[in-house]
Amino acid sequence: MPRVIYAFALSFLTGVLLLTTFIGSSQAKDWEIYRLGGRDYVSDENVAKFYRFHGFTKEEKDRLFSHPALVMTWTIGSQAIYVNETKFNLSFPVIESGGRALLSTVDLAKLVDPVLRPSQIKKFISFNTIVIDAGHGGHDSGAKGIQGHEKDYALDTANRLKKALEAKGFKTVMTRSNDTFLTLGQRVDIANRTRNAIFVSLHYNASGSRTAQGIETYALAPQGTRSTNGGNPWNSLLSGNERDAENIALATAVHAHIINELSPIDRGIKRARFNVLRGINKPAILFEGGFITNPTESKLVHDPAHRQKIADSICNAVVNFKNAISSKR
């Protein structure tokens, strides 16, 4: 996978907004659909044309779409695509047919389009409140790290995020503000009761392998898509929710900021059907801020200054996200 080097440090969403202004109002009839193996796809050329990328180059299995402020790369056979160096995990791999690289229409509609054109998302909520969910708590420690427990790191990060957001003029609601246990249902209820809000769940990761490390951000997997980490094939029949497009746009904003500002190992934006994301009727993401079972990352996460950086970065992302979605074409 070629990594694109930037001469200018443009923020991800700035690039997206510039691109959005170039697109104008295009229609579904602009798409030619290819049906392969029971699934619908669109071609690389069609994507390049529809989104008015200035440059489109093919290099064996790689496809590079470029615009002065935004670059997207695909690789045939791969489920990872990159937009301005941010990694996204597709529901289905890019496939090859007749020299064309084909992207599933599910990934086009549920991932690429909301990421490239956040201001086109219909019914975007306006929000002034962030429901901050510190994962786990009480008897549920979450991941047990080398130097501490996930529940404590998550709560500390949540408190820092609350302060940062309030300093920017947002209202906040904490699902928990001390070391108590809440069911996932209780967290969902708090989110759904709160008006004009988005939901951010904070976690730290664990793995049986001490080498696992990096940051990942989850959005609910829409209907017809698979969870990134597998699971039962039937789970693709489960529905997403009415916020599918906003969920991925919010995940993009947060993940891209963290990757730009903290330069961690990038595990990408992922899809899952976590119970805490499924029932929520507003834009929601679950953020995994690093592996506390990895010697290097556990040291970082244990450092309050690092948790402050994570909180500040998420706060900046929320500000940027709000600007991006409230800008009209």
Minimum Å gap between C-beta 290 and Zn ion is 12
C-beta neighbour count of 51 within 10 angstroms: 21
Minimum Å gap between C-beta 308 and Zn ion is 20
For residues 264 and 289, give the distance between their C-alpha atoms in angstroms, rounded to a whole number: 9
Minimum Å gap between C-beta 143 and Zn ion is 6
Minimum Å gap between C-beta 135 and Zn ion is 4
For residues 128 and 326, give the distance between their C-alpha atoms in angstroms, rounded to a whole number: 12
Strand order in the sheet with 39-43: 34-36, 39-43, 100-104, 95-97
**C-beta closer to Zn ion: residue 73 or 205:** 205
Binding site for Zn ion (CB under 5 A): 135, 142, 203
Q: Which residue is nearest to Zn ion (CB)?
A: 203
**C-beta closer to Zn ion: residue 118 or 268:** 268
**C-beta closer to Zn ion: residue 115 or 220:** 220
**C-beta closer to Zn ion: residue 114 or 142:** 142
Beta bridge partners of 39: 36
- Give the closest residue to 154 by CA, choosing from 175, 169, 168, 173: 175
**C-beta closer to Zn ion: residue 44 or 216:** 216
- Give the closest residue to 267 by CA, choosing from 92, 79, 113, 110: 79
Minimum Å gap between C-beta 154 and Zn ion is 7
**C-beta closer to Zn ion: residue 54 or 144:** 144
**C-beta closer to Zn ion: residue 135 or 240:** 135
**CA distances from residue 205 to 137, 160, 176, 298 in whole angstroms, order as listed:** 15, 19, 19, 10
What is residue 7's three-state secondary structure? coil
Nearest 10 degrees: Cα torsion 26, 29, 35, 40: 40
**C-beta closer to Zn ion: residue 41 or 291:** 291
Minimum Å gap between C-beta 197 and Zn ion is 21
Task: Give residue 266's identity as a one-letter amino acid code.
Answer: D
Beta bridge partners of 20: none
Angle between helices 12-23 and 244-262 (to 10 degrees): 140
Tokens of 78: 């791969």
Minimum Å gap between C-beta 216 and Zn ion is 12
| Residues of the chain by 3-state class (helix, strand, coil), percent to 5 | 40, 25, 35
Find where tokens 């039962």 sit.
232
Region for residue 131 given its phi and psi (left: phi exceeds 0; alpha: psi -120 to 50; beta: otherwise):
beta
**C-beta closer to Zn ion: residue 87 or 203:** 203
Minimum Å gap between C-beta 133 and Zn ion is 10
Query: Residue 144 gets which letter from DSSP?
Result: B
Minimum Å gap between C-beta 313 and Zn ion is 19
